[in-house]
Structure 1
Amino acid sequence: MSTKSELAPFKLPRWEDLPDIDLYMDQVIKLTEKHLSSLGIKPVTAAMINNYVKLKLLPAPIQKKYTRVHVAFIFAIAILKDVFEITLIKEGILIETQTLGLKQAYNLFVSDVENAVRLIETQGEKREPVTLLEGEITLENRILKLAALTFAAQRVVKNLILTESKGEKNDSKNSDLN
């Protein structure tokens, strides 16, 4: 079984693709699930979003509505929370948004996540080395690029382990039949 068959193709929404109208919590949850489920990311819950607000990872909603800014932060947090501690995510977001601005940092991050996943998927399928990051790593973008790469590597490794363990189980079943 190949890695590509397990990992569905995906495209994360860019800043311009995020809703420019305010959303209620349930709409935000549906939107994140729609875009992140193909990455194997655990669904975001209302309790999680409320905790992100309490931890000041997100600004508080305005009259129970969430803006494009909230949605961008939630996407980034959801992608990174299995790989990094929340405090590191918070610091990384602050550094990159102060350095690059929110729109540019978000667009660069989702683009780098897509590129990193594709490149690492390719590496998982082949025995030959590939360049893991496109473009130059600079002081301004190094956190984004390396975080995207870390996420992608963890995702592909999990899939490879699951694929291999399924293969071993199938092999042992076949040998039991002989």
Structure 2
Amino acid sequence: MNNKEFNVWLKEFGENRLPKWSELPDLELYMDQVTLEIEKNVSFILEKPITKSMINSYVKMQVIDKPEKKKYSKKHLASIIVVSIMKQVFSLDVIKKGINRVFELDNPEIGYDNFVSLFNKEMEILDGKNSISNLTMNEDQLKIAQVVAIRSVIYKEIANKVSEFNN
């Protein structure tokens, strides 16, 4: 992979976005539908596809809520999206604490959309040059933690692609 190919990949990668709450399906989904929806929306950032056993493990470890009658709601889907992204960098114990804070706001829609907005903003500033903006300690600590965590996932994916230069 040469510099031109990498820049093309980086531009294309940077065009990906997570769906906002309003863009998630309103219907309750069965497990197969959930895995398809996750694959459709976050495959660009995942090292490997989300499986049924992974989701069952998230439920068993109480990282996400248990489905009702084997059906997953919009909140479940949002939680699985956040967990699947952050799992690439953080342990499930750390994610469990963080996701509880994201979704303990007035309603899960606000917490999820805040996460998505931060993630998508970071994706927008990928330009192959200097995409690191300054964070000050005057900002909300949850926001700082989320921005740094999101950057970790994004830049880890870039690092994986850069490592291909040697091949």
What TM-score, normalized by structure 2, do the two folds share?
A: 0.85
Higher deviation after alignment, 131-140 or 23-32: 131-140
Aligned counterparts of 2:104 and 2:97: Cα–Cα separation in 1: 11
Aligned counterpart for 1:59 among listed residues 48, 65, 68: 65
Aligned counterparts of 1:100 and 1:134: Cα–Cα separation in 2: 26
Contact 2:63 / 2:96 at 8 angstroms: preserved in 1?
A: yes
Which residue number in structure 1 is paired with residue 91 of structure 2? Answer: 85
What letter corresponds to residue 149 of structure 1 in structure 2?
R
What letter corresponds to residue 5 of structure 1 in structure 2?
W
Aligned counterpart for 1:30 among listed residues 21, 36, 39: 36
Identity %: 28
Higher relative contact order (CA 8 A, sep 6+): 2
Aligned counterparts of 1:22 and 1:116: Cα–Cα separation in 2: 30
Cα distance, 1:110 vs structure 2: 1.6
What letter corresponds to residue 139 of structure 1 in structure 2?
Q
Q: 1:100 and 1:93, CA in 2 relative to 1: closer, same or farther beyond 3 A?
A: farther
Cα distance, 1:108 vs structure 2: 1.5
What TM-score, normalized by structure 1, do the two folds share?
A: 0.80
Q: 1:130 and 1:57, CA in 2 relative to 1: closer, same or farther beyond 3 A?
A: closer
Aligned counterparts of 2:139 and 2:148: Cα–Cα separation in 1: 9
Contact 1:24 / 1:65 at 8 angstroms: preserved in 2?
A: yes
SS at match of 1:10: coil
Aligned counterparts of 1:80 and 1:98: Cα–Cα separation in 2: 18
SS at match of 1:60: coil
Aligned counterpart for 1:147 among listed residues 146, 149, 154: 149
The reply to whether residue 76 of structure 1 matches residue 82 of structure 2 is yes
1:81-120 per-residue CA deviation (whole Å, 9 max, x = no partner) reads: 110001000001112322464212211212222222343x
Cα distance, 1:140 vs structure 2: 4.0
Contact 2:27 / 2:73 at 8 angstroms: preserved in 1?
A: yes
1:20-61 per-residue CA deviation (whole Å, 9 max, x = no partner) reads: 110000000000001111224421101011101000011111
Unaligned stretches of 5+ in structure 2? Answer: none
SS at match of 2:25: coil
Give the number of aligned pairs.
Answer: 160
Unaligned stretches of 5+ in structure 1? Answer: 167-178
Which residue number in structure 2 is paired with residue 5 of structure 1? Answer: 9
Alignment of 1:33-48 (within 5 A): 33-48=39-54
Contact 2:16 / 2:123 at 8 angstroms: preserved in 1?
A: no
Q: Between Structure 1 and Structure 2, which shows a larger proportion of helix residues?
A: 1
Which residue number in structure 2 is paired with residue 165 of structure 1? Answer: 166
What letter corresponds to residue 165 of structure 1 in structure 2?
N
